[in-house]
Amino acid sequence: MEVFNKLVEKLGKKKMISLAISLALIIVAAIVIPIVIINSGGCEHTYDNGCDAMCNECGEEREITHSWKEADCTAPKTCKVCGTTDGEALGHKPSEDDGDCTTEVKCTRCGEVTTPANAKHTVGSDGKCTDCGYELDVIPPTHEHIWSTATYEWNADHTVCTATRVCTVDEIHKETENGAVTSQIAKAATCAAKGETTYTATFTNIAFVTQTKTVEDIPVSTEHIWGEVAYEWSAYNTICTATITCTLDENHKKTENAIATKSTAGNCDIGGTHTYTATFSETKFDTQIKTESFEAGHDYQITYHWEYGGAVCHAKHSCYHCADTTEEEIAMREAVVITVTGDCSTGGTLTRTATFADSTFETQTKTESFSAGEHIFRGICSTQCESCEKTVRSVEASDHTILRPYTNFECDVCMKGSTLEGWAPDSDDSEFG
């Protein structure tokens, strides 16, 4: 500094100023004006600045060294000559926050404020700052609560009912209570409808009123309230049908058909009585006994019975009392025609039509429904399905029946089997190989 002062005294202030300006211009020229270097090859190399590595004239490269300024909080490492950067800015490093919102937080590297300070604390109703929770040595402001209308919320299974009310002046102030819940059946469940439960919640806080809620949450009952059993006899008292119906839902009912047994006292010469007895498997149904008297003399009637799985229709003109038969015919084989609507893969109907040679008897029909996947057969010993015509089951020779003598021993039911031992269905598409 002393040397500089002597130089000023010797040259004078004006010359010193001129000298300073000259030096400054030289420095600027070195940075801004392209640098010119003459090498042995004759190229006067020119560069944009001291950090430019390639000659603007011949493209020859040279080694350079940047003049770095180290990275700080807001800028990466930067060359002071050409502005090249390396890496990223360090970012601020805040000092530890003391939890007081009136104290600012600064960066420990550059001193910049990262969290500004509030001018003052905001006093809450609990005596703490509403921003930072700082406990203040002040008396919280007081007010008279103005409560909202209480709300009540039941949980999913109605075992808890929560009452809540909130101060409209300061919502921080609220009161809640889980009521004591009791329950009772309001409506018993039946086989036709669910039952109902009434839940009641009571509270100790007089601000909360008792709550009740009725919910349909009792499952439908499997128990029925049955009415009286009704019994109905068929024509000729061969079958007795018992029916019982639920008094709550008439769609719920039980029905059973019992085949009656018949016993006769007396005969057609002197008259007598028939006693019919029907016994049921259902314990709710009682055995039914029906007695009818008849006078002397025959009572001839025509009856039809489908037998052997529907392959045969047996017609009789006989006395109902003594079974004396005047006319009898069995429709079988070609006299029973099978008609199928649909097939065994989709389901449909099978109709049997029986015709008789004796004009005393009328043509009889019988229609049966069958489901998808169900095979249908002409008779009890048939092996071939009437729909798909495949042999789908096997039978024993003893299962076949001859109702009239034939020299070929062919079964009168299925019209294919034989009563001879060792017989087997002759079919290429048999499922039994």
Q: What is the pLDDT of residues 229-242, one digit of tens each?
A: 999 999 889 899 99
Mean pLDDT of the chain: 84
Measure the CA–CA gap between 159 and 183, rounded to whole angstroms.
9
Q: Per-residue pLDDT averaged across 23-32, rounded?
A: 48
For residue 350, give the H/E element and its range: strand 347-354
Whether pLDDT at 81 is above 90? no
Q: Poorest-confidence range of 85-89, 160-164, 219-223, 403-407?
A: 403-407
Residue 106 is predicted with a pLDDT of 87
Whether pLDDT at 433 is above 90? no
3-state secondary structure string, 92-143? Answer: CCECCCCCCCCCCEEECCCCCEEECCCCCCCECCCCEECCCCCECCCCCCCC
Q: What is the pLDDT of residues 320-341, one digit of tens each?
A: 888 889 899 999 999 999 999 9
Residue 422 is predicted with a pLDDT of 43
Token look-up 């500089």 returns: 4
Please tell me the pTM assigned to this model.
Answer: 0.43
Whether pLDDT at 403 is above 50? yes
How many residues does this entry show for the chain? 433
pLDDT band (50, 70, 90) for residue 227: very high
**C-alpha dihedral (56, 57, 58, 62), degrees to nearest 10:** -40
Domain segments of the chain as ranges: 2-86, 92-142, 151-218
Q: What is the pLDDT of residues 298-319, one digit of tens each?
A: 999 999 999 999 999 999 999 9
- How many beta carbons lie within 10 A of that of residue 19, not counting itself? 12
